[in-house]
Amino acid sequence: MEDKELEEIKKRKMKELIRKMEYPKEPVEVTDSTFKDFVKKYPVVIVDCWAGWCGPCLILAPIIENLAKKFAGKIVFGKLNVDKNPKIPHEYGIMSIPTLLVFKNGKLVDRIIGAMPEPILEEKLSKYL
């Protein structure tokens, strides 16, 4: 009985390790055509909807990069340029940027609008783990 339990634990741990290795440690560029598959691929996904001319978006960019490293293996971050990919912002009714779309198991569960300091954003995102 113990051998069987130990084997199950080993299998579970191996799956966790493989999953962590497969998780990107930096934001992934997302497009209108890759968006749906991307949000379904991982349990928790944050998509940063941004544009190059948006000051708050540029302030948020390095914060998103840091959080992608901190949450590696737990949360995957995507970046969607709203100027180059108008379909998804229209579909989700995005009126202001930056907007972070929070997906859990492929379903939109929250949206966070505006730039904010890293510790505040980290706290907001931690509740989705």
Residues carrying an active site annotation: 54, 57
How far is C-alpha 65 from the geometric centre of its chain's CA atoms? Answer: 11
28-30, strands of its sheet edge to edge: 28-30, 76-81, 44-50, 99-104, 107-113
What's the start-to-end Cα distance of the chain, in Å?
A: 32
Furthest-apart CA atoms within the chain: distance in Å: 62
Whole-angstrom Cα Rg for the chain: 16
